Structure 1
Amino acid sequence: MTMTQETEAVESQTDVLIIGAGPSGLMAAYWMAVCGVRARIIDKKGTKVFTGQADGLRPRTLELFDSMGFQHRVIHEGHVAVEANFWVPDENGKLTRQGPHCSPKINESNHYNMLLNQGRIERFVIDTIHKYSDLEVERGVIAESFEYDETLEDNPDAYPITVKLRTLSDEEANPAHLTTNGSGPPTAFTNGMGRGSLLPDDWEELIQKSRARQAKTEIVKAKYIIGCDGAHSWTRKQVNIPLEGSMTEHIWGVIDVVPLTNFPDIRRLGTITHSSGTILVIPRERRMVRLYVPVQIVDASTNGRFDRSTITLEMIKARVQAIMSPFTFDFQVCDWWTAYQVGQRVAPTFNKGTRIFLAGDAVHTHSPKVGLGMNMSMQDGFNIGWKVAMVAVGAANPAILNTYTAERHPLAEMLLEFDRLWSGEFTETSTNGTTKADKADRMVDVVESFMDFADGLKAYYPNSSLVWKVSEEEGPAAARNLIPGERIPPMKLRNQAEGNSKWTTRLFESDGPFRIIILAGDVRVEAQQERVAALARILEGEDKTKVSPLCRYMSIPGRESLIEIVTIHSAPWEEVEFFDFPEILRPFDPVMGWGYENIWCDASATWDPYCQGKGYEKWGVDRLRGAMLVLRPDQYIGWSGELEEVDDMTAYLDGVLIKVPTPEL
């Protein structure tokens, strides 16, 4: 038998099968690795993305990267884009700069908008996955058949999903994204980019892509499936979930080039407007610039679809030259280009029952010009990933899976509305063929009206078993700006024991546990000391009238407890000692010593201008009395209250986590 002959189908089981190793699939796979889930992730392409694709990174996504531990790599390689200039014709038709425009909420996060190609982000997530497990992407593998036994859905031990997988030959698995135009034989680069365009960690993978492959089929039984397989999602079609919406009439060209031009703002984020359309200019790493440009309008006789082969690189180049005139434009290096027709569509639901889930482009498609596609996809995968992982290992209540569509679908709707308004500004002209004079102002208005959503400053997650919001009848919240269903506004804190500062986005790692954040207030005050001590007695289990949430729940492999405590007090650090705090807040390990990383102080550091001791104020917390909250594994607040409200907090956790079985007498 030769290596390419098909062998007899084998059968196997896995708890979670992820189809598609793009941004959403890799984020979901990250949680499988963190939680020790028996999982598999397959992708039909023979390699990961190397060039092109998405490149915009929003602050909230970067905050999550920080919590995963690789944001420093993005900073090292990426391009920061915080200002935008808009070039529009004046009354004489001369292109003039309007701007720069900078977000009025630029300092609401410790991270700024950045630009770095999708391939590098995938590299970073894959490397991070390998820190936790040996989970590998199985490339060149497709799913060919699907069966789902709904009668087994409520049985946690059952494998109701059956999928037939097939390993592709080398020829079948060659990814189209390695070519400049999506056709022809696979070549990593053209137009002179060569080997130097890839960093060593990606180059090694490209070299290995042509290794011999053994064609085979496999029958896989799975408990859960997460479809992250793009706009033409095979998984979505198997469960008959439609994409609802429409295609726009405009065809867009995209090029990643090293530009040769006298346009002064080619290395600045912005737009250039002409009577026939608007170019979006996006500066990139390695001297590259990405340009989005409208190239033609779809002929009505084609039923709204276009022939991609009619669009050439020279055609896109000519359109850029025409719109940019009188400035010159040329290039010798083109890293990647493509043409696309915008489809603004969203699925009515992101799940089928509690076993089948869809994420990313599989459930929402839009124009790439808003710079949100990769962000939304990764946050989808991050959201459903931890939920499925914890349910799969028996640590969380399966009911939490019902929150996925409720949390992510409204954001997809916002994405499409943003895209409709933003994309319209790139094609709209006045009736006499000249661009409207207020173009720049209108574009700024669109951006600012969607800023909280687009940058992820607000998530808008609704009330659910995972989000306990405080009602008006219950009175003012103990932490006015720490709202369940939202993130914690990032602040830099000082470690009590060592004095070093750290951003909360890094302090609250995405490494599995739910965190009880005790904002201990001013512990110099005797009455406040007693409040904290009373809370500690409950957590320690010494107060028999209350139930401690510690050691009450099942955990994930590799962790003793799924609950971790972090204390942040507001007193001057010099007037408080680490050992003043109850031991339950600074646990002792006979090998690793005291939990120095568990006690933090909201105080200023003269040597760190970002550590100003203003966290309590930003969070809306009384510096004397403090507050308490539960942080979900995905860094969103689940519950908040007073230090005395342990029963309420435990009731929240009881609805989310699985209790440790009571020993039989």
Structure 2
Amino acid sequence: MSYVGQEIEHVDVLVVGGGPVGLIIAYQLARNLPSPHKVKIIEKHPKSAQDNYGRAITLFPRSSEMLDQLGLADSLAQQCFACRQTVNYDKDGNEFPGRGWSFMENMKDTKWDFALVLRQKYQEEIFRQALKRHGVNLDAPFALISIETLDTVGPNGYKVIATVENGVTKVKSTIKCKYLIGADGGSSSVRRAMDIPFDGSSSADKWVRVDGVIETDLPKPRTYCAIESPTHGNVLWAALDHGATRIGYAFTAERQKAYKEFNEEAAVKEAIASVKPFKLSFKQVDWWTIYVVGQRIARSFFAKDCVFLAGDACHTHSSGAAQGMNTGMHDAVNLGWKLSLVLQGLAKPELLYTYESERLPNVQKLINYDKDISRLMTMQLPENWTGDPRADPNEVLGQIMAEAATFSSGLGIYYEPDSVLNITPKTQLSTVQPGQRAPDVTLHKPATFETTRLQAETPNAAKFYIVIFAGDVAKTRPSLAAFSNSAADHSWLFDESLPVSFISILSGPGGPSAYETLGGMPFGRVFYDQTQCAHERYGVNTGTGAVLVLRPDGWVGTVVGLGKGGPGELMHYFSTFLRIGSTARL
């Protein structure tokens, strides 16, 4: 293809897809990359504050935590419906505890201990405005027409040539970029352009979702509710933002026979039938849809060392477990900080391969859960079911939802240890292991003793945090001194250009001066663990202490001892993927 005479736009990253996943990736890059790095995001469909309702609605605690560390969660909380209560009704309208969404009432160990329910329309507007504040606007409507990759161009070079078309003027233009990200949904044009197979299948099952303002005699309408309908499967009843409600039900082959055309009127009629014995009427319908249930996964999330897939572009599943947007958020956050560091020349390009190696196993786990959950919600036992063939699908569904609880909340999602980013220590120094989420804990600031949280003090700015759990300083002072003396021989630890920052957590009530408590200058910012709850939650002995590395995305990277060998182990950890010392910046 010839580009002679064409004006070619050069950007570092082109993000294709202006939904939540694409917006969050673009936001991280715009926020983390200093000038003159450039980020561009395009969307095929027009976007505005008046977008359609519907689509994804729920963020679970780990997603909220990640967005909190990006400075976005408070804006979501301003508009959301914070759902902490669930209820399950059997076919006769009697409460049946322990089934359905009951796991949501036990999502603890986090400030965000609820389902943050806010329709995608409102979430996207918040993300667009945040992105705009960092100088990047969503360009829409622009469609991706083609992708060409240049094999002769090395890492961090302009390896991708994309052709895009203005949806209004139909004028085509060319963009050269170092990396291209496809966050453009299940029918991804990026995935198709790169000829990446999309393995999986669709079932014969169809589900309907209807959002609107309702009147009902259901006793607990402002909850996440399941109704065990004999005709419409396990019916979803979800309280939404702005006083609205979502009703979701299985549209069985039996029900489909009654309609030559299935329109909004029919969707509402079936919704009313699905919640029997309760009464339901719609004062207003905001949105409705019907879709085929299926599970698919891209064979690769990263192609040609320069093209990524994220969100629905690389995995699709039912909305049965409400994981679609949450899984996409995990993709976006995992990729965002890694790409930021590589583009700045702070990390080796090989770091980008950990995106697929970390996300793919978790996506596969979700697909496996979703296959079972989606069948059970349609009152069918799982395909590989070996239990009682007469088992009640509602009972089995409750068991599987409970089994998947920590995965669904996101708080139990982990990345495999003993990889480049997650190195297990030879001696267990903390009960929180590399590859696991770093728990949020209460801390107190020096002097004022104001309460704060670890996650609030470790924002995701594409930076690692070396967190020194100093324990009881009266006992750990020799180890602290040894660590300090050894650190002096590893001056790279204090190179301000490196994406690494220190935090020290001292066990005890705190004194007038951290300097005097420690007998010298502390490492980084200091906080007090007044009741030892932080040390206890991390399983760190206050008599010995420990040093944990927190990744930018809030997972633990490694744990080292508080002593002479600690700085050397940190050197070993960081040197595997960061550019340190003379290897410097690109």
Q: TM-score, normalised by structure 2?
A: 0.89
- Equivalent of 1:129 in 128, 131, 146: 131
State the secondary structure of the residue aligned to 2:559: strand
Do the aligned partners of 2:435 and 2:557 also contact (CA within 8 Å) in 1? yes
Of 32, 35, 42 in structure 1, the residue corresponding to residue 32 of structure 2 is: 35
Distance across 2 between alignment mates of 1:29 and 1:451: 30
Post-superposition offset of 1:496: 2.1
Which residue pairs with 1:620 in the alignment?
Answer: 539
The 5 A counterparts of 1:338-417 are: 338-417=289-368
Aligned counterparts, 1:153-552, within 5 A: 155-169=154-168, 216-278=171-233, 279-297=235-253, 310-428=261-379, 438-462=392-416, 463-470=418-425, 474-475=426-427, 477-481=428-432, 483-525=433-475, 528-539=476-487, 541=488, 546-552=489-495
CA distance in 2, matches of 1:157, 1:339: 43
Equivalent pair of 1:68/1:128 in contact (CA under 8 Å): no
**Residue 494 of structure 1: CA displacement?**
1.0
Separation of aligned partners in 2, 1:103 and 1:256: 21
Question: Post-superposition shift, 1:583?
Answer: 6.5
Distance 1:9 1:151 in 2: 22
Give the partner amino acid of 2:161: T
Report if aligned partners of 2:315, 2:363 keep a CA contact under 8 Å in 1. Answer: yes
Contact (CA 8 Å) 1:34, 1:512: kept in 2 or not? no
Measure, in 2, the Cα distance between the counterparts of 1:121 and 1:486: 27
Q: 1:157 and 1:491, CA in 2 relative to 1: closer, same or farther beyond 3 A?
A: closer
The percentage of aligned residue pairs carrying the same residue is 26
Alpha-carbon displacement from aligned partner over 1:305-338 (angstroms, at most 9, x marks no partner): x9x9932112122222223233221112111111
Per-residue displacement from partner, 1:359-412 (whole Å, max 9, x unpaired)? 000011111131111111111011112111211121111111111111001111
Question: What one-letter code is carried by the residue in structure 2 that aligns with 1:460?
Answer: Y
Native 8 Å contact 1:69 1:506 kept in 2: no
Partner Cα separation in structure 2 for residue 614 and residue 284 of structure 1: 35
Structure 2 unaligned runs (5+)? 382-388
Q: Is the 8 A contact 1:629 1:637 kept in 2?
A: yes
Using the alignment, how far apart are the partners of 1:85 and 1:157 within structure 2?
52
CA distance 1:157–1:507, shift in 2 (3 Å): closer
Cα root mean square deviation, aligned: 2.6
Structure 1 residues 583-631: Cα deviation after superposition (integer angstroms, max 9, x where no partner): 76366xxxxxxxxxx1111114xxxxxxxx4111111110121110211
The CA deviation at 1:280 is 0.6
Number of residue pairs aligned between Structure 1 and Structure 2: 559
Check conservation: 1:82, 1:102, Cα contact below 8 A. Answer: no
Task: Tell me the amino acid that sits aligned with residue 522 of structure 2.
Answer: L
Distance 1:104 1:520 in 2: 35
Q: Deviations over 1:228-272 (max 9, x none)?
A: 011000111111111111111111111111111212232221111
Could you report, residue by residue, the CA deviation over 1:101-137 in whole angstroms, capped at 9, with x for unpaired residues? 3557422222122211112222333333345x21221
How big is the shift at 1:456?
1.3
| Cα distance change of structure 1 residues 400 and 584 upon mapping to structure 2, 3 Å threshold | farther
2:385 is aligned to none
Secondary structure at the counterpart of residue 332 of structure 1: strand
Moved over 4 A (4+): 102-105, 435-440, 581-584
Please state how far the C-alpha of 1:285 moved relative to its aligned partner: 1.2
**Structure 1 regions of 5+ residues with no counterpart?**
1-7, 170-213, 301-305, 553-558, 588-597, 605-612
Q: Secondary structure at the residue paired with 2:490?
A: coil
The answer (yes or no) to whether the contact 2:85–2:105 under 8 Å persists in 1 is: no
Q: Greater CA deviation, 378-387 or 47-56? A: 47-56
1:500 shift after superposition? 1.0
Secondary structure of the equivalent of 2:569?
Answer: helix
The question of whether the paired residues in 2 share the 8 Å contact of 1:28 and 1:384 is answered with yes
2:548 alignment partner AA: L
1:232 is paired with a residue whose SS is coil
Instruction: Look up the match of 1:647.
Output: 568
Structure 1-normalised TM-score?
A: 0.79
Secondary structure at the aligned position of 2:54 is classed as: coil
Deviation at 1:23, TM superposition (A): 1.6
